């Protein structure tokens, strides 16, 4: 699958940070990980911390899949409201989903500092505004549900919104905790540590066959080498379908742009992350060097050719979206790109073992919170494989059932 158009921002900004050799011999390890994007990197790092040996393989280079195309807003706010999840799965499970995502933001912060990319992580509040007046009652109910769950939120009414922000909206939830990150640099920094500890990290190594056996798994690479492991973690992003036998989400196309540096430190109040109640939604964030990132304008098809032909037209629409909301901001597009994007019916990821694959864990963080979900997955999968405890939350598992 062609996961993204050319010139996604993070790989242009950072270049090829580190190249790893392809796997040219057969090896044994405790855990094999398919995929060296942000998910595979987080999981491998946590497995290493748990004292397990790891071999990570990627058919591309580290971070060159969806990770390089991500706009990387880190939010606890799942695309599906807490109120809706509570109706489907019960209030305790819905609150657990939200609070795990909230904790994940701090976990990623701590990791960024630990592996030396703290300067690319920035905490920022998140503003979730009503696109239409008709969305207001639901949004207010959502605000109340989050407050009752102990989440740090404030209600911004129409008059206050107008005073604080450069455009108007009928109301909004302002959340204290959200963040921005450079996911490509983080993936590289994590895997550099994984490799430095003597584990295998291999670019340009496609896994073409997986066989589950009693007591382990055997992976075969495109070059005919074998990886024999106790367990397998599939962190292959939107290409995980091959190992599951079905695609558990719908594939769409999404578009993004980044502006030239605006020369400003504060582009709007607190440089908060912004998104809206419309579906598909528009969203905005800033970067540490004063740029705007805008994204959205999603299409429901997945065809990479059709998607990439639309990048410039979509970029003009996104530019108009930015100018309409931030008319005072000096704004010129620097780069624009497109990526495949997947979402599940309920907006939740699939994390854990599938009944048909007892020695294989999946981390499929589909939805707008892909990176937050990957962090939750990394913590829980590593603990389960290390035998510490069963921690994959039921609401993120393949077994979850609506009421
Ligand atoms: C435009 C856009 C904007 C986004 N914005 C956000 C956002 O603001 N916040 C957020 O949290 N998420 C966002 N996402 C989603 C987020 O980018 C993804 O959830 C995340 O990048 C997934 O990381 P990953 O490591 O699972 O996948 P990937 O980065 O795609 O990594 C998977 C890797 O697996 C490898 N692979 C696949 N099959 C094989 C095989 N057979 N053998 C070997 N290797 C294989 C691939 O080459 C790939 O490198 C966005 C996505 C897009 C496209």
User: Ligand 1 centroid to 166 CA: how many Å?
Assistant: 33
Phi first, then psi, for residue 79 (nearest 5°) are -60, -25
User: Ligand 1 centroid to 57 CA: how many Å?
Assistant: 14
> Among the atoms of ligand 1, which is closest to the Cα of residue 207?
42
User: Ligand 1 centroid to 153 CA: how many Å?
Assistant: 29
- Which residue CA neighbors atom 37 of ligand 1 most closely? 236
- Does the predicted model carry a pTM greater than 0.95? yes
> Among the atoms of ligand 1, which is closest to the Cα of residue 374?
26
User: Ligand 1 centroid to 64 CA: how many Å?
Assistant: 8
pLDDT digits (tens, 9 = 90+) for 60-119: 999 999 999 999 999 999 999 999 999 999 999 999 999 999 999 999 999 999 999 999
Averaged pLDDT of the chain: 95
**Ligand 1 test: best mutation among 16, 33, 67, 272, most atoms within 8 Å of CB?**
67
Range name among 140-144, 280-284, 356-360 with the lowest pLDDT average: 356-360
pLDDT confidence of residue 244: 86
pLDDT digits (tens, 9 = 90+) for 162-190: 999 999 999 999 999 999 999 999 999 99
pLDDT confidence of residue 1: 72
pLDDT confidence of residue 214: 87
């Amino acid at each position: 699958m062609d996961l993204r158009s050319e010139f996604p921002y993070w790989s242009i900004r950072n270049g090829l940070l580190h190249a790893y050799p392809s796997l040219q011999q057969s090896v044994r390890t405790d855990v094999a990980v398919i995929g060296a994007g942000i998910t595979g990197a987080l999981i491998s790092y946590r497995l290493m911390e748990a004292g397990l040996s790891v071999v990570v393989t990627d058919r591309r280079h580290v971070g060159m899949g969806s990770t390089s195309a991500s706009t990387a807003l880190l939010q606890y706010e799942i695309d599906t409201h807490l109120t809706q999840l509570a109706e489907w799965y019960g209030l305790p499970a819905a609150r657990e989903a939200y609070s795990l995502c909230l904790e994940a933001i701090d976990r990623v912060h701590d990791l960024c500092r630990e592996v030396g990319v703290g300067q690319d992580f920035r905490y920022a509040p998140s503003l979730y505004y009503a696109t239409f007046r008709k969305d207001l009652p639901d949004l207010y109910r959502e605000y109340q549900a989050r407050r009752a769950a102990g989440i740090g939120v404030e209600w911004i009414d129409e008059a206050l919104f107008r005073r604080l922000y450069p455009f108007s909206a009928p109301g909004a939830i302002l959340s204290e905790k959200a963040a921005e990150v450079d996911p490509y640099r983080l993936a590289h920094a994590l895997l550099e540590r994984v490799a430095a500890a003597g584990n295998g990290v291999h670019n340009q190594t496609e896994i073409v066959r997986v066989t589950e056996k009693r007591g382990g798994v055997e992976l075969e690479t495109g070059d005919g080498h074998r990886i024999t492991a106790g367990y397998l973690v599939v962190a292959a992003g939107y290409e995980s379908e091959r190992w599951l036998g079905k695609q558990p989400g719908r594939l769409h196309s999404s578009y993004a742009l980044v502006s030239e540096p605006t020369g400003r430190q504060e582009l709007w109040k607190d440089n908060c992350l912004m998104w809206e109640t419309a579906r598909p939604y528009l969203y905005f964030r800033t970067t540490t060097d004063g740029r705007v990132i805008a994204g959205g304008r999603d299409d429901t098809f997945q065809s990479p050719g059709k998607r990439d032909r639309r990048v410039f037209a979509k970029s003009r629409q996104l530019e108009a979206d930015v100018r309409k909301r931030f008319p005072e901001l000096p704004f010129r597009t620097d780069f624009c790109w497109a990526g495949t994007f997947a979402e599940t019916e309920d907006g939740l990821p699939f994390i854990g073992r599938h009944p048909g694959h007892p020695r294989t864990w999946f981390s499929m963080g589909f939805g707008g919170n892909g990176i937050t979900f990957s962090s939750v997955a990394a913590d829980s999968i590593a603990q389960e494989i290390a035998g510490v405890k069963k921690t994959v939350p039921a609401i993120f598992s393949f077994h979850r059932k609506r009421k």
